Amino acid sequence: NLTNTHDLRARLSELSDESGELPLTSRREATSDTETLSALIASHPDLSVEQAAMLELPHVRGAFSLVFMDDDALYGARDPQGIRPLVLGRLERGWVIASETAALDIVGASFVREVEPGELIVIDENGLRSHRFAEPDPKGCLFEYVYLARPDTSIAGRAVQSVRVEIGRRLAREHAVDADLVIPVPESGRYAAIGYAQQSGIPFAEGLVKNAYVGRTFIQPSQSIRQLGIRLKLNPLRDVIDGQRLVVVDDSIVRGNTQRALIRMLREAGAREVHVRISSPPVKWPCFYGIDFASRAELIANGLTVDEICTSLGADSLAYVDLDELVEATNLPKDRLCRACFDGIYPVALPEPELLGKHVLEGIERRAQVGTEDVEGVATLLGGGAADALERP
C-alpha cells in the first residue's frame, strides 16, 4: 500500500543509528510495510505514541488506513488522499474505528463520520482528539465502488449497493443487447446486474451458484491456483441456462481467467449466447495502493482492443461501462477519485519500480519500464502487455 517503503526503512536505519538500538518490529526479514511503519513510531521511546505518530506520519506516502492501540488509547489515521476508507463510530460506552460502515452495523455502533484524509484520531479516557498531520487532497479509490467495498457499506454518504445498481443501469443504456436473461457473476456483479435488468427490461435470474468457501480468485498467488479456484468457486445452474441467450454482468476483468473459464462453463451448460457486460472500464494499469494486480503484463486490457479481449474470452460480445459514466454514478467529482487502474493517473508519485513499497521487501522484480508524465500530478506509464491473450486456450 505504501509507495516509499524503501525511504521509510532508510529513515528507520538512521533513527536506530541515533538511538543505538533497532526496534524489534523492524526485523530485516519483515515483508510488511505496516511493520516498518510500526517500527518508525516505536523508534521514539522518549515520545508518546501520539507524538511519535504525528512526527512520522507526514513522511509516509501511499494508501493507508491505520488502526492501532497502546495501553491507554485507540488511534486511527488515514493517508492525505483518503484512498482507502476509514470511519468512526459510537457505541453506548465506547468508540469504534473501522474500514467500512458495515462493520459499525455489525457491532451495533452508530456512524459518526469518516476519518478525514490526513487526520490522526486519538481516543482515550479524556475523550476524542483530532490532529491534522497533512493537508487533505481527497482521491478515494474508485475500485472500492466497483468491487472492494461490501455492498452494505456507505462511502462519502452513498450506499455502495445503490452505486452498483446505477452503474448497471448506465451500462444497459450504453450497451444494450437482445437476450433472454441477465445473470450476475456473484457476488460483486449482482447489483450491477440488477440495474442492467431494470434498465433493459430483460429478466434477471441467478444462473451461477457460488461456493462460499472459496476466496477471491484474482488475488490468488499463481495462475494455476486461480484457474482451479474458478471452477471450485462457481457452478452453473443448467436448468436456468440451457437454451438461453445470456447477459453476464461482472464487476471487472483483470487477467481474464475468471471470465474465460466461466464462459466455457456456461456454454457447456447449454447457453446459446453469452454476452459479457462489465461494470467498470478496462483495467489497464497496476495498482500500487493495495490491490493485487501489480504487473501490467498480467492485465488483459493492456495492449488489446475490446474486440480482441472478447475473442480471447470466447464471448459473443463484450462491453465495459465508460469511465465518466462510472464516476457520475458515485456522485463525486472526478478529481476527488483515484482512477489510476483505469486511466494511469496516479495521485501519489511513484518511485522507480524496484523501490515500490512493500514489493521491495518481498523482492518482487517488476517487468515494467517506467517513465513519467505530468498529468494532474504524476502519471506513471508502465510497459508490458497481454499480447499473448489471443493464444490462450
Domain boundaries, the chain: 5-83+113-138, 143-391
Taking alpha carbons only, the member of 149, 174, 196, 202 closest to residue 321 is 174
3-state secondary structure of 299: coil
3-state secondary structure of 110: strand
> What's the pTM?
0.85
Report the alpha-carbon distance of residue 320 to residue 252 in Å, rounded: 9
pLDDT at site 10: 86
Are β-strands 245-250 and 181-184 bridged in parallel, bridged antiparallel, or unpaired?
A: parallel
We find that the CATH architecture of domain 143-391 is: 3-Layer(aba) Sandwich (3.40)
Residue found under cell 437482445: 178
pLDDT at site 381: 36
pLDDT at site 376: 34
pLDDT at site 226: 57
Cα distances (angstroms) measured from residue 310 to each of 5, 263, 339: 38, 11, 23
Are β-strands 234-236 and 208-210 bridged in parallel, bridged antiparallel, or unpaired?
A: antiparallel
Phi and psi of 8, rounded to 5°?
-65, -40
Report the alpha-carbon distance of residue 382 to residue 354 in Å, rounded: 13
Distance between first and last Cα of the chain: 34
pLDDT at site 228: 64
Report the alpha-carbon distance of residue 94 to residue 114 in Å, rounded: 17
Task: Output the tens digit of pLDDT for each of the chain's 393 residues.
Answer: 888 888 888 888 888 766 555 554 444 556 678 888 899 999 999 999 999 999 999 999 999 999 999 999 999 999 999 999 999 999 999 999 999 999 999 999 999 999 999 999 999 999 999 999 999 999 999 999 999 999 999 999 999 999 999 999 999 999 999 999 999 999 889 999 999 999 999 999 999 999 877 655 544 555 555 556 677 889 999 999 999 999 999 999 998 988 999 999 999 999 999 999 999 999 999 998 988 765 788 899 998 999 999 999 999 999 999 999 999 999 999 999 999 999 999 999 887 765 554 444 444 333 333 333 333 333 333 333 333 333 333
Report the alpha-carbon distance of residue 227 to residue 269 in Å, rounded: 18
